[in-house]
Amino acid sequence: MRSVSPVAVLRTQGVARLLGSSLLGRIPSTAIGLLLILRVRDLGGSYAVGGLAAGAFSLGLAASSPLLGRAVDTRGQTRVLQLGAWVSALALVALALLPDSAPAAAVTVLAFVCGAAHPPLSACMRTLWGSVLPDADARHAAFALEASAQELCFIFGPLLLVSAVAVHDPSAALVLSAAILLAGTLAFVATTASREWRGVVHADGAVRARALDAAGVRTLLVVGAGMGCSFGAIEVGIAASAEAAGSRGAIGILLAVWGVGSIIGGVWAARHGAPADRAARIVTLLLVLAACDALLLAAGPLWALGLALTLCGAAIAPLFTIVYSLAGDLATGGTVTEVFTWLGTGLSAGVAAGAAVAGVLVEGPMGPSGGFVVAAVMVAGAGLAARVRVRTLAFSTI
């Protein structure tokens, strides 16, 4: 397939503004869980309550995303994103203004509301690639570029909101998060591409199909959930490895180099163009990622673990590039945004499940390696599932 430069994609009219505003609005979501824990501690609450609040945010996000995606497909992006951004931002401000005597229930409810209303910017951005970039090779480069750029959000978001602000004042970090969320969302919906986008609907306004009606979408949901399990498990394994080595401060560095590996892989994917058979490439990359995750078991010292994590990360952005590219093609009429939100929900659920299982194994005789075992097994399982169901990926060639 023809290679399209990421620079050429960014120079396409409107792309830089769309991608930049979308990424800006996504930054708070990379740190809100940590901010909620710090805010609860600031209010005098326990880590258990903080974890409950962070879990409530994630639960609200996972439960409502497909509903918001379906609303976007039916009514367009503008109103849904604007309303979601304002409600979510106000919930963050309310959390910042809670008095020291605030009950745990108030924190939990506000955290849930914040997650449930959170605007699905990433799904809306991916939906727009089809209309902004009609060329398939340019879209592949755009998906790869976005996957790499999103890793930067996961690296710098916590650094900005947690390390630089929340350590000193969690309330200020929550207010700043609300401002960033609003600024990014409002800038995104002000673009012509977002404002004018409409889904495919019946004459009576009803969406023609359900997102999960497409068998290929269900296959990609399994793939996303398996990848999410590996991410959650690896995060636990990283934390346990650093603590076992007596170097908690290395956790952030290890997470960062993992993200750097993904950025490198995304740039490579963008520069080399879309594969002729995307379904086969997904299976191959999943099995490669499983093998790389297995290497973490033999990493030994933290510097070696960092090198292995960089290698693992290199397969992540290319995988997401093809998964999202296929998802847009497989979505049945009028469900494209909902499809992308379902993939996000599957990924989030996988992260939670992987972290939970890895946590149990890490506490047992397996130690830190338990997290890496879970990661390798779950990605390998996703690869085998994709291989068995490869025929459902009907748009596997371009």
CATH number at residue 372: 1.20.1250.20
319 shares a domain with 266 = yes
Mean pLDDT, residues 54-82: 90
188 shares a domain with 55 = yes
pLDDT for res 394: 67
375 shares a domain with 324 = yes
The better pLDDT of the pair 266, 19 is held by 19
pLDDT digits (tens, 9 = 90+) for 108-155: 999 999 999 999 999 999 999 888 888 888 888 888 888 888 888 888
pLDDT for res 396: 46
Q: Using alpha carbons only, what angle is made at residue 127 by residues 123 and 130, rounded to the nearest 5 degrees?
A: 155
Q: What is the mean pLDDT of the chain?
A: 86
274 shares a domain with 175 = no
Assess whether pLDDT exceeds 60 at residue 271. Answer: yes
Mean pLDDT, residues 324-349: 86
102 shares a domain with 166 = yes
Among 246-255, 324-333, 335-344, the minimum mean pLDDT is found in 246-255
Q: Is residue 371 in some structural domain?
A: yes
356 shares a domain with 254 = yes
pLDDT for res 287: 94
pLDDT for res 222: 93
Q: Is residue 368 in some structural domain?
A: yes
Answer positive or negative: Cα dihedral of 155, 37, 239, 59.
Answer: negative
293 shares a domain with 192 = no
Q: Is residue 8 in some structural domain?
A: no
pLDDT for res 22: 95
Euclidean distance between the first and final Cα of the chain, in Å?
8
185 shares a domain with 86 = yes
80 shares a domain with 33 = yes
180 shares a domain with 309 = no
325 shares a domain with 251 = yes
Mean pLDDT, residues 30-56: 83
Provide the domain limits for residue 79.
Answer: 14-135+158-196
pLDDT for res 145: 87
What's the number of domains the chain is made of? 2
Assess whether pLDDT exceeds 80 at residue 337. Answer: yes
Mean pLDDT, residues 34-39: 83
Q: Which of 28-42, 78-92, 163-177, 246-260 has the highest mean pLDDT?
A: 78-92
pLDDT for res 40: 86
Q: Are 352 and 236 in contact (CB under 8 A)?
A: no
Q: Which of 151-155, 247-251, 338-342 has the highest mean pLDDT?
A: 338-342
Q: Is residue 63 in some structural domain?
A: yes
Q: Is residue 143 in some structural domain?
A: no
Q: Is residue 1 in some structural domain?
A: no
Q: Is residue 398 in some structural domain?
A: no
pLDDT for res 98: 93
Mean pLDDT, residues 152-166: 78
Quickly state the pLDDT bin for 360 (edges 50, 70, 90). Answer: confident
Q: Is residue 179 in some structural domain?
A: yes
Mean pLDDT, residues 328-354: 85
**How far apart, in whole angstroms, are the C-alpha atoms of residue 294 and residue 297?**
6
pLDDT for res 398: 42
Assess whether pLDDT exceeds 80 at residue 322. Answer: yes
Mean pLDDT, residues 170-177: 92
pLDDT digits (tens, 9 = 90+) for 362-396: 877 788 888 899 999 999 999 999 999 988 886 54
244 shares a domain with 124 = no
Assess whether pLDDT exceeds 60 at residue 208. Answer: no
Mean pLDDT, residues 163-186: 88
